[in-house]
Structure 1
Amino acid sequence: MTATIEPSVETTEGPRPTFDSLNPATGDVVGTFPIDGRAEVDAAVAAAREASAWWRDLGFDGRKEYLLQWRSVLTRRLSQLADQVHREGGKPHGDALLEAGLAIDHIAWAAKSAGKVLGRHKVGTGLLMSNQTAYVEYKPLGVVGVIGPWNYPTFTPMGSIAYALAAGNAVVFKPSEYTPGVGRFLVDTFTEVVHGRPVLNLVTGLGETGNHLCTAAVDKIAFTGSAATGKKVMAACAENLTPVVIEAGGKDSLIVDEDADLQSAAEAALWAGMSNAGQTCIGTERVYVHEKVFDPFMAELLKQAEGIRPGYDDGGVYGPATMPKQLDVIRSHIDDALARGGQAVLGGAGAVGDKYVQPTIITHVPEDSLAVTEETFGPTLVVNPVKDMDEAVELTNATKYGLAGAVFGKKRAMDVAARIRSGMTSVNSVISFAAIPGLPFGGVGDSGFGRIHGPDGLREFTYPKAITKQRMKPVLMLQSLTRDEKTESRFQQILTVMHGGSSTLPKRR
């Protein structure tokens, strides 16, 4: 998700304009940050470019040591980082701890795995080129620009930052204008570890600052946000043919089969739908339940939902909406679902306040309603019955998004999960894939493309380099202007033996 904040401009001559980072629960100013313009962004990229050579030349082992030191620094200062996330984003301190802890685990995995994944290794040559030894390795791109979100300001951008750094790139990080203090904390702690070298640089500002980064002399942009903003990022990057990796929104579903553990499924649906005030791209917004267990599932869901409420430092299980404009979107989705015949069994009309949204569950919502088709990004669940798992899969896939999802069941769960058109699916849990560093993270359709995390995430910030080395003279010298007919005839004979066999396809009747 993205936002527009009115900056507090000091003067047109003198200090750069600034903007305030506000606590969404109290309205207090958490910090004041500069709005970096073209000159500042270009300077940050230039500094990163200069530092990138030192960082690249450290090699995998050298970079691993620095990244593991950074991991340790963040672990020792975990409470400070969580407090910054709590004050800028509004989420409970415990949720901020969880988010930061997962990010730290990803740093460790990327640091330890980069050499194995990206280092030089042999590739089979085949019979025709058996006189050669073939290698492939993955080289860093140079400087990667990362544009981060506000909903998970530590964990989500770290999937690009840590993996790009481990691959040997320098990084320029533009955090969300809602959470610039978190970005500053991450950059400062890393810079401390590398003794002031600008390997990881920070730029702050609004949308225009992000646009400057997209059109700067970077080698790739990693963006997390809405699909609409992702298209603008792609358009800006196209000016310089800068490649992008896009992690956009989602409209994920949780499917409950007739043989599912209903207690676990209800607990997972509530957590994935309500935690972080529903501001989770890979959270649950739709629930499809087999009609045979719909009523007992709803009874369990409402039982577990008792006592769930928002709050800040008063025991609330989730915080306020971080981005005030999202409240209008959430309200419109709830109102549209109810107007189309949906039944509010919790919350509903009037659930959206000036900062907080009360937990809302609506059933029997038409599939063409806004609450089903568009990303709500609030603490709401649409729960609809389905006659079987075929219908559940069909409805789940009837969306322009394709980010994640979950399936609860026994006999058919894995088969159902495999049929879902999404980049990630959990079986009998929710969002588990995000906590496993070795798995790729990303979506299809309007949810974006490219991957962070895992081996694919490391390769995302590199280019493959192929190398061949002749180990003996070839039996057939094909790469020569003196090649004769005898050589060509033998080449044809070898090809016939290797590839001229009959097809194994069944004969047409």
Structure 2
Amino acid sequence: MSSLPSPPRATDGTTFDVRSPVDGAVLGAHPVHGPAEVREAVRRSRAAARRWAAAGWDGRRAALLAWKRSLARRMDEVAEAVAAETGKPVHDARAEVLLALVHLDWAARNARRVLGRRRVPSGPAAFGRRALLAYRPVGVVGVIGPWNYPVHTPMGSIGYALAAGNGVVFKPSELTPGVGELLASSFADAVPAEFADLFLVVTGFGGTGSALAESGVDKVAFTGSPGTARKVAEVCARTLTPLLAECGGKDAVLVGADADLEAAANAIVWGAMANAGQTCAGVERVYAVASVHGDLVERIVRKARELTPGRHYGPMTLPSQLAVVERHLKEALAGGAHAPLGGPESLRAPYVHPVVLVGVAEDAAAMREETFGPVVAVNAVRDLAEAVERANASPYALGAAVFTGTREEGLAVAERLTAGGVSVGSVLGYAAVPSLPFGGTGESGYGRVHGAEGLRAFASARSITVRRRAGGGTDLMSFATSREAAERMVELGRKLHAWR
């Protein structure tokens, strides 16, 4: 395995260099922000959030849509920054920016509908009172973002948190700080000056992220590994700061005997190899019914063989990830698997050429841990029931996909999967639908971004009752009500619920 570009490193203790994952060229130097600077960013964002709240639903919507339009006009600039720091092709980076625009647009246009005050039924026990449900912003949200999709993924928290009325302080990955700084500066350029401090960026390593978690923010939204999520959770627990954690996946595709194998193979290859496999909800496992397994493998191998690293996808953005891929491959092959395409020789730093594995032991690291590379394991199963059992056996539960002969059968299988999102007849279909929530359980984390659930994730529910009139009915919340009247009311309620 050839040498990889060096990861970011501090230069003089106050700045660090970021290097291209392709050739190691220095892309720029960025500050290492410490606790005092992080707290100051939170203070400034909180002050701007008060003005943001005063702008109302219409003012916030207008500002966010202005930002969206500005990002759309600057798509090439943003995409080039993404491509430089991650190594992914510019056309992939442009698609990522577009997906972020779709979500930002939805959040801005739907925040009032989802979070605005509305009336809810009072019920007979609250006769004479009008019940209202309202949401208020949590305050300032600290977002700790990943490097694999440095625009789309953090914007699932940033855009929705802003639309819900919050301020945001964003700590991007140390591999992609330039993208984070560009997002924040583009926001300040697009919105009225009074909101310029609403969305701020702090840069650095793990210490900066830890400082953000304990800086007094009102919620933390984290994307990264389960191990790092546990460390962030420990910091948040000291101050009971709520945490939303998206921690990756080991997503499975289930293929039935009557499935369209050509469509399944196309989707599997894209889901496994796009972005060099560095996708939290990417395809890492395939369970195909034995009668079609061989045919499916041949199709996958043929399509994957046509891919060229550097053109169809980029390098390993995180240098150390290549060693993880190598370990998974070698352990799988030593355990009895075979590779109809690729193998350890596919690791040619900084790229990994496509690898297809067959017959991987279910307890192998390649089936249990996140590989996060252009590697897919395709195992045969007796039937779809066994496929569901194996897919659900993973400690991760983020996404899955199902290919069957009919949509009805696909939906029935989808209902039995524990994954937080399931695509029938495609892969990752839910990620492109802004009205659908995204997130998982187990090692994949907890909480949801996107959609109405994503807006509510950054808001606090508030219950309001309004007494409509004095007198009339029996008020169980008053000593002025006689005991006899209160007892009649309770007995009436008891009878109602005993027979209803």
**Aligned-partner residue type, residue 318 of structure 1:** Y
Structure 1 match to 2:165: 168
Write the distance in 2 (CA, Å) between the matches of 1:91 and 1:131.
Answer: 61
Deviation at 1:130, TM superposition (A): 2.5
Task: Name 1:507's counterpart in structure 2.
Answer: none
Partner of 2:16: 19
Match of 2:455 in 1: 458
1:341 aligns with: 336
Amino acid at match of 1:133: R
| Residue 306 of structure 1: how far off its partner (Å) | 2.7
Q: Show the counterpart of 2:3.
A: none
Q: Secondary structure at the match of 2:351?
A: coil
Q: 1-side partners of 2:35 and 2:126: how far apart? A: 51
Equivalent runs, 1:89-238 vs 2, <5 Å: 89-196=86-193, 197-238=196-237
Structure 2 counterpart of 1:270 = 269
Answer yes or no: is 1:398 the counterpart of 2:400.
Answer: no
Taking the aligned partners of 1:92 and 1:106, their CA distance within structure 2 comes to 22
Matched, 1:46 2:48: no
Question: Does 2:356 match 1:358?
Answer: no
* Post-superposition offset of 1:482: 3.2
Aligned partners of 2:116 and 2:192: how far apart in 1?
26
Contact 1:362–1:383 under 8 Å retained in 2: yes
Partner AA of 1:486 in structure 2: E
> Pairwise mapping of residues 212-361 of structure 1 onto structure 2 (< 5 A)?
212-311=211-310, 316-361=311-356
Partner of 2:416: 419
2:334 maps to amino acid: A
Q: Cα distance 1:339–1:19, how it changes in 2: closer, same or farther (>3 A)?
A: same
5+ residue gaps, structure 2, are 1-5
CA offsets, 1:52-77, max 9 Å, x none?
10011111110000000000000001
Deviations 1:378-434 (A, max 9, x none): 000000000101100000011111000100113421111111111101000011101
Counterpart of 1:483 in structure 2 is: 481
Task: Output the CA distance in 2 between the equivalents of 1:71 and 1:49.
Answer: 22
Q: Structure 1 stretch 417-426 or stretch 405-414: which is displaced more?
A: 405-414
CA-to-partner distance for each residue in 1:241-285, whole Å, 9 max, x for gaps?
100100001000011111111001000000000000000000000
Greater CA drift, 477-486 or 24-33: 477-486
SS of equivalent residue, structure 2 residue 124: coil
- The aligned residue for residue 493 of structure 1 is 491
Q: CA RMSD in A?
A: 1.2
Comparing 189-198 and 76-85, the one that deviates more: 189-198
Structure 1 gaps, min length 5: 11-15, 503-509
Cα offset, 1:483, TM superposition: 3.1
Aligned to 1:505: none
Instruction: Check if 1:60 corresponds to 2:60.
Output: no
Q: Given the two structures, how large is their TM-score scaled by the length of structure 2?
A: 0.96
Q: Distance in 2 between matches of 1:203 and 1:214?
A: 12
- Where does structure 1 differ by over 3 angstroms across 4 or more consecutive aligned residues? none
Partner amino acid, structure 1, of 2:283: T
Write the deviation string for residues 1-41 of structure 1: whole angstroms up to 9, x where unpaired.
xxx9563332xxxxx61111111001111111000001110
- How far 1:488 moved relative to its partner? 2.4
Contact kept, 8 Å, 1:103 with 1:158, in 2: the verdict is yes
Which residue type is aligned with residue 460 of structure 1? A
Kept in 1: contact 2:388–2:416 (CA 8 A): yes
Structure 2: distance between partners of 1:203 and 1:381: 36
Partners in 2 of 1:306 and 1:326 — Cα distance? 22
The structural deviation recorded for 1:309 is: 2.0
Q: Contact 2:251–2:285 (CA<8 Å) still a contact in 1? A: yes
Rounded to whole Å, the distance in 1 between the matches of 2:366 and 2:346 is: 14
* Closer/same/farther in 2, CA of residues 5 and 348 from structure 1, 3 Å limit: closer
Q: Where does residue 26 of structure 2 map in the other structure?
A: 29
Aligned to 2:9: 7
1:389 equivalent in alignment to 2:384:
yes
Tell me by how many angstroms 1:195 deviates. Answer: 3.9
Provide the C-alpha distance between the structure 1 equivalents of 2:279 and 2:182, rounded to a whole number of angstroms: 22
CA distance in 2, matches of 1:446, 1:328: 21
